[in-house]
Amino acid sequence: MSPSEGTEDATPVARTVSSVVPDATALKALTHPVRLRMLGMLRLDGPATATQLADRLDLNSGATSYHLRQLAQHGFIEEDDARGSKRDRWWRARHQSTHFLKDDSTQEQREAGIAFAQAALTVQTANAQRAVQEYLELPPEWQETAGSSDQTLVLTAAQARALRDRLYDVVREVAEQTPALGGPRPEGTELYTVQVQAFPQPGRITHRDEEAQP
């Protein structure tokens, strides 16, 4: 689980930046797809007003302002006083990553984390589909950077975790050498998304509740 739009799972893939570990209530608030996209935009592109976000999301400013207030209430964003004025309120992300499903999570946190992961995966999938649709419009040098694949392996749990961690480490090493998100980008650079999904093949492993049955 490595949700797009600037969110991460319990084993983060990102540069060393500020992060947040939301409680169950905050995670539930973040499962709304519009809020996920909105938070991602603020993390990737920097501060914005409700009007600007409404234009990007094709929403009315009233709905956008409501979702912004919800994100602020749960600590994901805050007003950017340096940019704000009497006419426009600017908002900025408070963190660059969201961590969830920790080893010591309560059952409520785990359930909220799964709901959040499912919502984030929906956004990830839509993002990947859009990338495929735009592929032919890209300059050749950027077409050569795109790719997707899936491969099923026969592994032990220990081997599977080691592989996942190795993939994360590769992305993290590169990310630590890149400019921070939301700020100015050097000439010739663009935002480049790496989505990693790694999981046991569904329906193949006996679930814990099934093991408990006589």
Give the least confident one: 13-17, 39-43, 176-180, 193-197. 13-17
Q: What is the mean pLDDT of residues 99-112?
A: 84
* Long-range CB pairs of 104-108, under 8 A, 24+ apart, other chains included: 106/24, 108/24
> pLDDT tens digits, residue range 78-104?
999 888 676 788 999 999 888 887 777
Give the residue with greater pLDDT, 150 vs 1: 150
Euclidean distance between CA atoms 20 and 208, whole angstroms: 30
> pLDDT tens digits, residue range 11-62?
433 344 578 888 899 999 999 999 999 999 999 999 999 999 999 999 998 9
Euclidean distance between CA atoms 189 and 47, whole angstroms: 20
Contact 12, 171 (CB under 8 A): no
Contact 200, 62 (CB under 8 A): no
Question: What value does the mean pLDDT of the chain take?
Answer: 86
- Residue 17 vs residues 13, 41, 43: alpha-carbon distances, Å: 11, 17, 11
Lookup: tokens for 86: 């009497």
Q: Is residue 86 packed enough to be buried (19+ CB in 10 Å), middle (13-18) or exposed (0-12)?
A: exposed
Residue tagged 């679930």 (tokens) = 207
Residue environment code for 18-31, b if the CB has 16+ CB neighbours within 10 A, otherwise e: eebbbebebbbbbb
Q: Which domains does the chain have, with CATH numbers?
A: 19-212 (1.10.10.10)
First to last CA, the chain: 32
